[in-house]
Amino acid sequence: MSAVLDIVPLRSLVAVAECGGFHRAAAALHITQSAVSQHVRKLEKVLDRPLVVRDGRRGRFTPEGEELLAEARHILAAHDEALRRLGVETSDGVIVVGSSEHAADQLLPEIATALRTVFPRRQVRFRLDRSGRLAQAVDNGSVDVAVVLSAERGAFAGMLPLRWYAAPSFRLPPPGAPLPLVVFDEPCALRRRAVEALRAAGWEPAIACEAAYLAGILAAARAGLGVAVLAGVGGRPEGLMPLAGLPPIEPTALRIRVRAGAPPSLAAVAADAVAQVVTSG
């Protein structure tokens, strides 16, 4: 008999990747951990090669496992989409949504509601990260759809307004003095945009604090270390105030990136949800 890749073991393999291990995959699929392990071993037997190896308490995909993982996503997407076209509701699976931290408070509830309406029996899980890393995660298939800050790749979803924020006690320095900035570490498009806008208006920016994630930016700005460029939708960040007297920052494009083989409706649903936020903010 020719080799066959069964749907159920493939779904378990994808769940191991998406959930970060066999135990979490079993919980997400509502089966035992031993069943997930048996599914992976069945796939290894079909392909006659190891797919997942132990790495401490976690499983690490081999190069062959990564290759099958990409194929499994294509197969499952085609399988589930075929059922939907035939009017059969699919029940299993997780939709992994990546999002930049900018405006996440407003974006994530809208995206979650929209996806759960279109995919009512899918679990929606979010991953917050920098746009560059999210784009890579979409490319390697570990994230299904991502909202990223980008001027180029991806489906356009809207423009995110940007504003200067600082602690209530912060005062602008006198003309000619350096202006302290709180920024994301490189690479960061917003950082470059802020520096260029200030220099074009005659200000000399001075990096007072760098942070990898939004929590660090907010903490430093609240401490009065400098001014920060943040999303201008929703309410103002707690402990900060909009800062007047600085040049306006042009909005940045929000784009939707979708992994290869994802349901065709995924990008449109996410883009519509993002548009609702940025047009109402």
Could you give the 3-state DSSP secondary structure of residue 104?
helix
Query: What pLDDT digit, counting tens, does each position of 53-82 carry?
Result: 876 556 788 889 888 988 888 888 788 778
Does the structural domain 93-280 have CATH classification 3.40.190.290? yes
Q: DSSP character for 173?
A: P
Residues 85-144 pLDDT 10s: 776 655 556 788 888 888 787 888 888 888 888 887 777 888 888 888 888 888 877 788
- Whether 247 has a pLDDT exceeding 90, the answer reads yes
pLDDT in tens, 156-203: 888 888 999 999 999 999 888 999 999 998 888 888 889 999 999 999
**pLDDT score of 225:** 94
For 30, the token pair is: 């509502």
Fold of 7-86: Arc Repressor Mutant, subunit A (1.10.10)
The DSSP line for 66-81 is: HHHHHHHHHHHHHHHH
Given pLDDT bands bounded at 50, 70 and 90, which one contains residue 229?
very high
Query: At 220, is the pLDDT very low, low, confident or very high (cuts 50, 70, 90)?
Result: very high
CB 263 within 8 A of CB 93: no
pTM of the model: 0.64
Dihedral sign for Cα atoms in the order 179, 184, 187, 188: negative
Q: Which of 7-16, 172-181, 197-206, 243-252 has the lowest mean pLDDT?
A: 7-16
Report the C-alpha gap between 188 and 206 in whole angstroms: 16
Tens of pLDDT, residue by residue over 24-45, are: 777 767 788 888 889 999 999 9
What is the per-residue pLDDT across 43-57, written as a single tens digit (0 to 9) for each? 999 999 999 987 655
Q: Are strands 162-166 and 155-160 parallel, antiparallel or unpaired?
A: unpaired
For all residues of the chain together, what is the average pLDDT? 84
- pLDDT of 205 higher than 90: yes
> Greater confidence, 277 or 198?
198
Q: Where are the domains of the chain?
A: 7-86, 93-280
